Amino acid sequence: MKTNVLPEDRLRILLAHKNRKMAASAHAYVRGSTKRFYEWLDRADRVELPSGPRLWICGDCHVGNLGPVGSGSGGLAIQIRDLDQTVVGNPAHDLVRLGLSLAMAARSSDLPGVVTALMIERMVEGYASAFRPDALPGADVATIPKTVEHALRAAARRSWRHLADERIEGEAVLPLGSRFWPLSEEERREVDSFFGRDDVRELVTILRHGKDLERVKVKDAAYWRKGCSSLGRLRMAVLLQVGRGDDRRYCLMDIKEATSAAAPHDPDAPMPEDPAARVRQGATALSPYLGSRMVVGHLLDRPVFVRELLPQDLKLEIEELSRDEAVAVAGFLARVVGTAHARQLNAVDRGRWLAELERQHDVSIEAPSWLWNAVVDLVAIHEAAYLEHCRRFALRASRGRSDAVDEEEPDGAS
């Protein structure tokens, strides 16, 4: 890819990139088509879901949005790592979205349908266990699946040098190319001004274990092509130098524009009107390690949230799963989501939601009927949509059009 991508060309190139990624597999399509999930939730004839307590939910709880997250002070845990769509809403929505993602991952691993049924059953067991009276706050399931354990070990071994080797060229340069694109002069001026703010500098220096408001200097900055979530939004990587002389340290900051959430939310629930403040508040509730590393503001008159990238922050990749591993991963990830939900409730409300989950359990089948029926319905919808996406993508590509399927709407998938 050319290194001199102009700002006016970004959307076209990002759209082509998104469509290629979504055509790679049915699972990848699910990750990039959040809009279809919300459309399903709005349908009058969809499966009836249990009405859970109103709390902060991820809103886009697919497998790729969970993974190892560092605390900035040495902690490491599997938490929700992408909260663009976080809202105060029905926790059942997160369970259904996760169930759909896991079911499509199972299909990509060529696992039989019976395994998907077992995964959904284990999901509910893992999720519900976080609400039981004997559940320890923040505790994970006793046995960590191998897929997750490998990710945690890889994250624990990573250092700043690993992050620098992947993202930085030379002493302090973001390498322009397929991943990083040059900023306009106005964008660079705005970045310099943003990191001159006292609250931003204070966050940076605290994260880097330095003195409050010590010198923070922008060494380099670039537009960041990352996932599919950059469509139509600001997304920048900023390399900072903190301190002076032999005490200087570097850190890499991720700037992401926040937009209004498309996820259904409780209209009566108090939520910040500013989209960036909403993301930070949701992150603080659901993923404390991530929320504590965020600051919000406005850049180029757009709301943005900023976090320091830590070497331990990794996406959980699930490519090939065995039968037993697929079931174990389903239970573990559902427990992670359940823990994120349960920490927001008192003991009484946790008990009520647990009772509702158990009441909704249909003992005549292996998986709870509401979750199983929702996942089956959504799998059918997404399988058909994926094949149509691939057909249009292939037709456009065969005609030499790299921006295949350009009628797809940006939906904030990551």
The three-state (H, E, C) secondary structure of 223-237, written as one string: EECCCCCCCCCCEEE
Contact 316, 80 (CB under 8 A): no
Alpha helix (H) residue ranges in 225-362:
275-286, 288-291, 323-342, 347-359
Highest mean pLDDT out of 86-100, 175-189, 221-235: 86-100
Q: Output 33 or 256, whichever has higher pLDDT.
A: 256
Are 85 and 99 contained in the same domain? yes
CA distance 234 to 164: 22
Are 22 and 140 contained in the same domain? yes
Instruction: Determine the structural domain holding residue 341 and report its residue range.
Output: 16-157+315-398
Are 20 and 55 contained in the same domain? yes
Are 115 and 179 contained in the same domain? no
The string of pLDDT tens digits covering residues 199-213 is 777 777 666 655 555
Are 151 and 200 contained in the same domain? no
Neighbours of 217 (CB within 10 A): 15
Return mean pLDDT, the chain. Answer: 82
pLDDT of residue 407: 42
Task: Work out the pLDDT band at 368, boundaries 50, 70, 90.
Answer: low
Q: Report yes or no on 121 lying in a domain.
A: yes
Cα 154 to chain centroid distance, Å, stands at 19
- Looking at 309, 335, 362, the residue that finishes a domain is 309
Whether residue 322 has pLDDT greater than 90: no
Structural tokens at position 89: 């809403």
CA distance 32 to 316: 16
Are 174 and 275 contained in the same domain? yes
CA contacts within 13 A on the Cβ side of 192: 9
Dihedral sign (CA 134, 135, 140, 141): positive
Q: Report yes or no on 162 lying in a domain.
A: no
Are 354 and 325 contained in the same domain? yes
Are 188 and 283 contained in the same domain? yes
The string of pLDDT tens digits covering residues 253-262 is 899 999 999 8
pTM score:
0.86
The pLDDT of 125-153, averaged and rounded, is 77
What is the total count of domains within the chain? 2
Contact 248, 236 (CB under 8 A): no
- Looking at 309, 334, 353, the residue that finishes a domain is 309
- Looking at 260, 284, 309, the residue that finishes a domain is 309
Are 292 and 339 contained in the same domain? no
Are 67 and 98 contained in the same domain? yes
DSSP assignment of 109-169: TT--HHHHHHHHHHHHHHHHHTTSTTPPTTPPPSS--HHHHHHHHHHHH--HHHHHHHH-B
The pLDDT of 68-77, averaged and rounded, is 82
Whether residue 30 has pLDDT greater than 60: yes
Are 273 and 366 contained in the same domain? no
Q: Report yes or no on 403 lying in a domain.
A: no
Give 3-state DSSP helix, strand, coil % of the chain, rounded to 5.
45, 15, 40
3-state secondary structure of 51: coil
Q: Report yes or no on 348 lying in a domain.
A: yes
Q: Report yes or no on 262 lying in a domain.
A: yes
